[in-house]
Chains A and B, each alone.
Chain A
Amino acid sequence: MQTNFRFPNIFKMPSDNVIVLASAGSGKTTDIVNQACANGGRTALVTYTINGRNELLDKAYESRGAVPPHVAMLTWYTFVLTHLIRPYQNHLYEPRIIGINFNQMPDHARRIAKNRVDQFFFSSRGRLWRDRTTDFACRLIDKTGGLPIKRLEKIFQHLYIDEAQDLSGWDLELMEHLLKSTIKVTLVGDHRQATFSTNNNPKNKAYWGEKIIDKFEEWKNVGLADISHKAESQRCVQAICDFADKFFPKCQPTTSRNATVTDHDGVVLLRERDVKRYWDRFAPQPLRYDARTTVQYGAPLNFGESKGMTFERTLIYPTGGLRKYVKSGNLPDAGKSLAKIYVAVTRAKQSVAIVVPDSFNGGHLPIFEFPKENS
């Protein structure tokens, strides 16, 4: 039995909720793990993917030696299922919900009437469609007068959501319930890296991808959360930051915290014929848009996959848009995959080389030439 008096957290002000817009490489994962571990009350650290969760765990072991018992690290769907759905699911659905069906919903399932709970939300007995999971949680909250939120308030005092730019569909409605609760919520993310959608629910379509920033602004405007910026990069040298910033001119410019100088730093274009030599010399990590691009040297990663990772140097096989852009310097030329491009560009600490055809000339970036004495 607790004897020491705890200041009741009903005194939370809405501005206690924070949305931290963190540039790539800002060390946000380390930050939230440290904050969570240092917190007094029980804390949930939530991220979208199992890899993300493992990364948080690794960080905690790395900096703290162990995960403190007051911190729970969960994936988003585990969090929603164990804390917001199962405890009161029987107000909507009796059989125990075993898990989530992560497969794409077939079209016919999308046309089922909302009031048919069994078919609308479930692919089979006890298996929720991924795309309807947060929808179900919201409906449960409405149906029970907010019982799941009240329960959660008694368990957690702090909630951190990593990769908050990936919230979409009904996630946003659910997040509003959480922002209005007595739990102190911290959302950490970077809309420039919104490469991944947690679900395909048409709800809140206006805020898909990088447009999530509009939702963040709305929350700020109604007093649900403050927005703070962490426009610095522990990872990339300034030249890389500057180049990456160009894809999102409205955002605060990023300041580099990487002062390391090597014999080859910054962003360059690399002619195809020089790739082999460049690879031998610098051993960069190849990045490509998707598996359709063949890469001759090294083990390539797709842009999306590389999110959260850090490399010394990268070698980027550009999309058509990016190729056009490096020539013209015109942002509209870069196409729609800005988030993925931003992710790819911000992986390297020291150098980014973008592969261009041998015939390439012009553009506003330097073309890499091997120094004479090395040839």
Chain B
Amino acid sequence: MPIERVIIKNYRAIRDANIKFGDNVNIIVGNNEAGKSTLLEAINLALRCQLNRRPAQYELHPYLVNIEAVNEFVNQRKAGTPAPPPEVMIELYLKDTPEVADLRGSINSLKADAPGISLTIRLDDNFAAEFQSYVADPNAISSVPIEYYEICWQSFAGTGLTTKSVPVKSTLIDPSNISNSYAANKYVLEIVRDYLTKSQSVNLALAYRALRDDFQGDARITAINTDLASKKGVVSDKTLSVAMDTTTRASWETGVLPHLDNIPLTLVGKGEQNTIKVKLAIEAAEKCEIFLIEEPENHLSHANLGKLVNHLAKRCDGKQLIISTHSSFVLNKLGIDHVIMFNGSKGVTLDHLPADTKAYFQRLPGHNTLRMILATRSILVEGPSDELIVQKGFVQKHQKLPLEAGVEVISVGTSFKRFLDIACLLELDVAICRDNDGDPAGKKALFQSYQGVPNIHIHIDDDSAARTLEPQLLKANGRDKLNEMLGTKHATDADLNDHMTANKTECALALFEHADQLQIPKYIQDAIR
């Protein structure tokens, strides 16, 4: 019953997304604003109908609806071309296994015959009249009337769902700060409840009830109550006594707390809580099949993260793991094969890449790939010397390092095309900055197929006489300036050029570290922007 596909419309940052998942490990990477957390939150919402660990209907607020969709709705109203109020829709398409046969049907946006769960947040028909008066004055509308919205949680068979009727067990580990003690307790209790079998839960409840009864029978309590009873007529005409709280509110959940080495779990660090929660869920008798883990690196030390990820990799066989991360460590540990690069609407996996590109990245699992994916913008260069000059140029122009501006400068050797394949798929903003090697036309032709792709910029200088970075630098700065910056005394351009070419990185580093301004060749300036 792993999740095979998730379709989301108008949920928070996600306007319209359609993502395919693998049966086992899925690592979601993407920009900070791409909506990775939103994606996990949406999946959890559809699986449990819960937001912030409370029933979702108590947690509805206008910002759950995608802001673009809301603005469109508002503008259409103002323009006098009214459209229906926007709806939030989350659909989980599950793999067809016997446990989820009841959830099968075609009541989904693809009209596909599959088991699945759909959750929509939409205008409640019963509030049609209220909605009408809400929109009566189009100029007064600024958001959606969420108070007239309802949550419709059903299977693809069109049957309404309850938490108990969803045969898919899932666990969400998120780093969000738990704001109140109610939520904190609930979170901790979930840890235990995820683990217990039904009969263990029943036994726990019964034992708790028995304990309350014992309390009442204790001789000391009886004595106290006898004494209190003697005050009848003094404090009240009725008999006053003490007893354990037996109202429904006082179920075992309010009196039982998991402990770790005799320390209440609520007082143990969040990281440890999460580690325990994940591990308990993995070992739970009633199998938890889906784990949603949001950025585990955020609340675990590197060592603990390593342990948890190792544990997951070992024990989550046959379970589905959907994990979002910024950590190249997690990525490398769990395998680049399982990466889903999410840009807010699409999830791209290596399978989407041309076969040779896929093979390239499988052989060379890469930190660099992740850097490019996570960056606002990337400048791809051939080697470290190019990288240093780009860095220098960037600092000169913007008074800060590229990384501080979210720009990654990455040396990729000659593998530009591999990176561009990914950049094309993900619509990443990427500039290529490379030597013309004496054949500008020929080198440009290599990138012919990226012509006109708006997010890909190729920068190759046209001067075939300045074949590489070094002659380009010489051309831009002159021999005297470079001799000065490098602390050399070469008499001819050719000598200086030979020296720089023979000591590429050292020279680039010297130029980078020198306090003076360096004239940056035009094609690199263009890439820096």
Interface of chain A: mostly helix, strand, loop or mixed: helix
Check B105 against A87 for contact (C-beta < 8 Å): yes
Does A147 contact B99, Cβ atoms closer than 8 Å?
Answer: no
Interface string of B162-196 (1 = CB under 8 A from A): 00000000000000000000000000000000000
A51: interface (CB < 8 Å):
no
Q: Is A151 an interface residue (CB 8 A)?
A: yes
Chain A residues within 8 Å of B487, by CB: none
B384 contacts partner chain A, Cβ-Cβ < 8 Å:
no
Residue interface bits A92-128, CB-to-B below 8 A is 1, else 0? 0000110000000000000000000000000000000
Q: Could you tell me the dominant secondary structure of chain B's interface residues?
A: loop
B104 touches A151 (CB 8 A): yes
Binds A, one of B153-161, B332-340, B443-451, B496-504: B153-161
Contact residues in A for B159 (Cβ distance below 8 Å)? 82, 86
Is residue A155 contacting chain B, with contact meaning CB distance below 8 A? Answer: yes
- Pick from B69-77, B106-114, B511-519 the stretch touching chain A: B106-114
Docked-complex contact A151 and B107, CB < 8 angstroms:
no
**Please, how many angstroms separate the alpha-carbon atoms of A96 and B111 in the complex?**
14
B318 adjacent to A89 (CB under 8 Å)? no
If the complex has contacts A1-B318, A147-B113, are A86 and B102 also in contact, measured as CB distance less than 8 A? no
At the interface, yes or no: A215 with Cβ under 8 Å from chain B?
A: no
Instruction: Please tell me if A276 contacts chain B, counting CB pairs below 8 Å.
Output: no
A155-B101 contact, Cβ under 8 Å, with A82-B159, A87-B158: yes
81-100 of chain B: CB within 8 A of chain A: 97-99
Q: Are A151 and B101 in contact (CB under 8 A)?
A: yes
Closest-CB distance, B186 to chain A (whole angstroms) = 27
Count how many chain A residues have C-beta atoms less than 8 Å from C-beta atoms of the other chain.
17
A273 at interface, CB cutoff 8 A: no
Q: Are A151 and B98 in contact (CB under 8 A)?
A: no
Interface presence of A375 (CB below 8 A): no
Q: Tell me the nearest residue of chain A to B97, going by C-beta.
A: A1
Instruction: Tell me, yes or no, whether A88 is within 8 Å of chain B by CB.
Output: yes
Asked whether B287 is an interface residue with its Cβ less than 8 Å from the other chain, the reply is yes
Contact call B157/A86, Cβ cutoff below 8 A: yes
CB <8 Å contact, B97 and A96: no
Q: Residue-by-residue, is A252-279 near B (CB-CB < 8 Å gives 1, otherwise 0)?
A: 0000000000000000000000000000
B97 partner residues in chain A, CB cutoff 8 A: 1-2
| Identity of the chain B residue whose Cβ is nearest the Cβ of A125 in the assembled complex | B125
B157 partner residues in chain A, CB cutoff 8 A: 82-83, 86-87, 151
Instruction: Please encode chain B, from 263 to 304, with 1 for each CB lying within 8 Å of some chain A CB and 0 for all others.
Output: 000000000000000000000000101000000000000000
B2, chain A: closest CB distance, angstroms? 10
Task: Bin chain B's interface residue count.
Answer: 10 to 19
A88 to B104 Cα, complex, angstroms: 9
Residue contact B101 to A91, C-beta cutoff 8 Å: no
CA distance A54 to B357 in the complex (A): 64
Q: Which residue of A lies closest to B106 (CB)?
A: A88
Task: Please give, as numbers and ranges, the residues of chain A lying within 8 Å of B287 by CB-CB distance.
Answer: 1
**From residue 13 to 70 of chain A, which have CB atoms closer than 8 A to chain B?**
none
The answer to whether A155 and B99 touch across the interface, beta carbons within 8 angstroms, is no
Q: How far is the CB of B474 from chain A (nearest CB, A)?
A: 67
Contact yes or no, A155 B158, CB < 8 A: no
Rounded to whole angstroms, the CA-CA distance of A272 and B259 in the bound complex is: 80
A87 touches B104 (CB 8 A): yes
**A211: CB under 8 A from chain B?**
no
Q: A90, B101: Cβ atoms under 8 Å?
A: no
Shortest C-beta distance, B124 to chain A (Å), equals 13
Give chain B residues whose Cβ lies under 8 Å from the Cβ of A82: 157-159
- Contact A2 to B105, CB < 8 A, known contacts A87-B156, A147-B113: no
The answer to the question of A154 belonging to the interface, with a C-beta cut-off of 8 Å to chain B, is yes
Determine whether the beta carbon of A86 is less than 8 Å from that of B107: yes
- Minimal beta-carbon separation of B332 from chain A (angstroms): 29
Given A2-B98, A89-B107, 5 more A-B residue pairs with CB atoms under 8 Å apart are: A1-B287, A2-B97, A82-B158, A87-B107, A87-B158
- 9 closest Cβ pairs, A-B complex: A87-B105, A86-B158, A87-B157, A154-B101, A155-B101, A88-B106, A151-B104, A2-B98, A147-B113
CB-defined A-B contacts under 8 Å, sample of 26: A1-B1, A1-B97, A1-B318, A2-B97, A82-B157, A82-B158, A82-B159, A83-B157, A86-B107, A86-B159, A87-B105, A87-B106, A88-B105, A88-B106, A88-B113, A90-B107, A96-B107, A96-B158, A144-B106, A147-B106, A147-B113, A151-B101, A151-B104, A151-B105, A154-B104, A155-B101
